[in-house]
Chains A and B, each alone.
Chain A
Amino acid sequence: AQSVTQPDIHITVSEGASLELRCNYSYGATPYLFWYVQSPGQGLQLLLKYFSGDTLVQGIKGFEAEFKRSQSSFNLRKPSVHWSDAAEYFCAVGTHTGGFKTIFGAGTRLFVKA
């Protein structure tokens, strides 16, 4: 069955430091992979996606993610975190089973300290 694992429930980084959020997926075929961000009191917003091609994808707000098939991973990175990046981040995999739907991970909450 398809699944997404985000091993870190929460992460704290200092402003200006680099960030990496981990994501592992389980899917039999070539996956469609996504990262979404949720700020407090709001819905989820797409940061970036991977469908095919270059395994390093760029997204909004300076985020990037790298697809590694051998590790079944799609980790999210940002070289320098800003206080406004504090939010919850969801990794997701898209599946084609009777239509297209998205399976979300449990999320990683990012705290940014000054």
Chain B
Amino acid sequence: DAGVIQSPRHEVTEMGQEVTLRCKPISGHNSLFWYRQTMMRGLELLIYFNNNVPIDDSGMPEDRFSAKMPNASFSTLKIQPSEPRDSAVYFCASSPQPGQGNSYEQYFGPGTRLTVT
């Protein structure tokens, strides 16, 4: 299995621009999570989906952030407009169906390092 795939791996953009981060979860996993990691705030859960439906988006910092999961194999996290304080590493993770042997384990992608200047 290829694992969780994220693109791009690095993104540098100017303040005010729209940024779209992409994630392909592991096939067969039914939960998907978006995290943000910074030195100051550590690892923060932004939003998670179960069976393509957003379950908890309380971690999304502002209306500038939005996430979608149009199907089981693809999710996006969009920031519009971006600001310098959005600079961070964004991770996507997926988790298998509860009841399976490795359920509740999260499998992380390599992350997208976002720099907003």
Contacts and interface: CB of A to CB of B under 8 A. Distances in A.
Interface of A: 32, 34, 36, 41-46, 49, 51, 90, 94, 98-104, 106-107
B50 interface: yes
Interface of B is mostly: strand
Contacts of B98: 100
B91 A98 contact: no
A99 B48 contact: yes
A46 B111 CA distance: 16
Contacts of A51: 104
Contacts, number: 54
Contact of A99 (B4, B55, B109): B55
Interface of B: 4, 31, 33, 42-43, 45, 48, 50, 55-56, 91, 93, 95, 98, 104-111
B55 A43 contact: no
Contacts of A34: 105
B105 A90 contact: no
Nearest to A44: B108
A37 B65 CA distance: 28
Contacts of B45: 101-104
A104 B91 contact: no
A101 B48 contact: yes
28 contacts: A32-B104, A34-B105, A36-B106, A41-B110, A42-B111, A43-B4, A43-B108, A43-B110, A44-B43, A44-B91, A44-B106, A44-B108, A46-B105, A46-B107, A90-B43, A94-B104, A98-B55, A98-B56, A99-B48, A99-B55, A100-B98, A101-B33, A101-B48, A101-B56, A102-B33, A103-B45, A104-B45, A107-B42
A47 to B, nearest CB: 11
Contacts of A41: 110
A32 B106 CA distance: 13
A43 B43 contact: no
Given A42-B110, A99-B56, A101-B48, 5 more contacts: A43-B91, A44-B106, A94-B104, A100-B104, A102-B45
